[in-house]
């Protein structure tokens, strides 16, 4: 029997609005037990005090619990990110994996998920976390029957250092990479990204040193995005690829933007995902992870994103890229996230476009 991956997109009227998903569940269009991953973009500020993430997660938890599925069991990943600046529409994307009797055809979307072994607080942002993620990605590849070359994108939900983790580390006289939760984010994202790069053979082990993490920007993955948010010190990995061992009409393609104005890379990614020219078909999902260049320059021109005292730089990034990607693809359901340590070239970013080319634009 073949496997089939399905991708569903729903708009949200507010951070706790799961009504569209509820309707799909009631209609039998989605099997709650088959959900592998849910990715939500809310209109919060995307910073440490963004409680819209809690609202969205709680609403989704209650909806699924009423149907016998618990987010607490770790059977699916839920990534909630605030920040709908620019033209981004608040929305959720639901990824399913089902058995199918459909015959094999060309390559189709494949999905698998794996959870890493628990880390110690002092291992966050170190080579131990890099190798932990590498092994977790490799297990997900085996589960999906994917080779590294067939992988188009990897989404990682990474742990960060909360107060009780710091207390635990101090009780054992252990030293952590950062003294607070916010400071741990760049470290955990960086280590996870390099772990993906190793698993996908984008870098070699001898290049990745303890001193490389969150420092050597010549090392990066072109096929991953990492979000910090787990409090259980485990890394969750979801891999997306294209395989002839899977069936269905869904597709995914990855792209790598060299800078924030690289519209050619966006166009090429949409084309490889099967979207025809002229925007006659909308993508099912668009995921982008990137950062403004640390040099403060974009194509030789000075930028103020890192130095604006009125608007947080990550909010600048989300507003800019919602417009750049939205104009190129013709959709406002775009998941834009910053904090891209080792995720794409410095000052650029990674992109994934999911589509069902046979589905007409609504």
- pLDDT tens across 290-325, in order? 999 999 999 999 999 999 989 989 999 999 999 999
Domain that holds residue 301: 249-355
Kindly indicate the confidence band of residue 106, based on its pLDDT and cuts at 50, 70 and 90: confident
pLDDT tens, position by position, 12-23: 999 999 999 999
CATH of the domain at 273: 3.30.1330.160
What rounded mean pLDDT belongs to the chain? 94
The percent of residues above 90 in pLDDT, for the chain, comes to 88
pLDDT at position 90 over 80: yes
Residue 362 lies in a domain: no
pLDDT in tens, 175-197: 999 999 999 999 999 999 999 99
How would residue 279 be classed by pLDDT, with cut points 50, 70 and 90?
low
Q: How confident is the model at residue 102 (pLDDT cuts 50, 70, 90)?
A: confident
Q: Considering the domain boundaries, does residue 71 fall inside one?
A: yes
Q: Tell me, yes or no, whether 342 and 288 share the same domain.
A: yes
Same domain, 176 and 210: yes
Which residues share a beta bridge with 111?
240
Q: pLDDT band at residue 104, thresholds of 50, 70 and 90?
A: confident
Considering the domain boundaries, does residue 70 fall inside one? Answer: yes
- Select from 194, 215, 240 the last residue of a domain: 240
Mean pLDDT of 256-271: 97
Residue 360 placed within a domain: no
Looking at 84, 100, 116, which one is the last position of a domain? 100
Across the range 157-178, mean pLDDT stands at 96
Q: For residue range 231-246, list pLDDT tens digits in order.
A: 899 999 999 999 999 9
Is 20 a member of any domain?
Answer: yes
In the predicted model, what is the mean pLDDT of residues 61-66?
96
Q: Above 90 in pLDDT, residue 201? A: yes
Number of domains in the chain: 3
């Amino acid at each position: 029997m073949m496997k089939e991956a399905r991708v569903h997109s729903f708009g949200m009227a507010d951070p706790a609005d799961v009504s569209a998903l509820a309707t799909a569940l009631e209609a039998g269009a989605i099997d709650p037990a088959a959900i592998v991953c849910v990715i939500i973009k809310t209109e919060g500020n995307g910073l440490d005090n963004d409680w819209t993430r809690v609202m969205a997660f709680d609403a989704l938890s209650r909806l699924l619990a009423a149907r016998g599925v618990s987010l607490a069991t770790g059977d699916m990943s839920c990534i909630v990110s605030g920040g709908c600046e620019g033209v981004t529409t608040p929305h959720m994307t639901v990824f399913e994996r089902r058995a199918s009797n459909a015959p094999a055809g060309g390559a189709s979307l494949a999905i698998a998920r794996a959870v890493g072994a628990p880390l110690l607080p002092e291992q966050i942002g170190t080579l131990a976390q890099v190798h932990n993620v590498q092994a977790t990605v490799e297990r997900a590849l085996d589960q999906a029957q994917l080779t590294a070359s067939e992988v188009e994108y990897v989404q990682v939900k990474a742990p960060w250092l909360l107060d009780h983790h710091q207390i635990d580390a101090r009780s054992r006289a252990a030293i952590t990479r950062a003294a607070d939760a916010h400071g741990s984010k760049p470290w955990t994202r960086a280590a996870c990204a390099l772990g993906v790069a190793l698993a996908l053979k984008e870098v070699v082990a001898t290049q990745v040193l303890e001193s490389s993490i969150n420092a050597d920007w010549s090392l990066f993955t072109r096929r991953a995005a990492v979000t910090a948010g787990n409090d259980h010190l485990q890394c969750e990995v979801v891999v997306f690829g294209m395989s002839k061992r899977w069936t269905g009409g869904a597709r995914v393609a990855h792209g790598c933007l060299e800078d924030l104005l690289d519209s050619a890379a966006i166009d090429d990614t949409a084309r490889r995902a099967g979207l025809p020219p002229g925007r006659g078909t909308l993508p099912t999902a668009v995921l982008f992870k990137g950062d403004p260049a640390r040099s403060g320059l974009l194509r030789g021109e000075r930028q103020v994103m890192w130095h604006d005292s009125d608007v947080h730089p990550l909010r600048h990034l989300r507003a800019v890229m919602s417009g750049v990607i939205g104009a190129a693809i013709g959709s406002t359901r775009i998941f834009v996230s910053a904090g891209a340590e080792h995720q794409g070239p410095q000052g650029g970013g990674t992109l994934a476009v999911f589509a069902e080319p046979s589905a007409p634009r609504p």
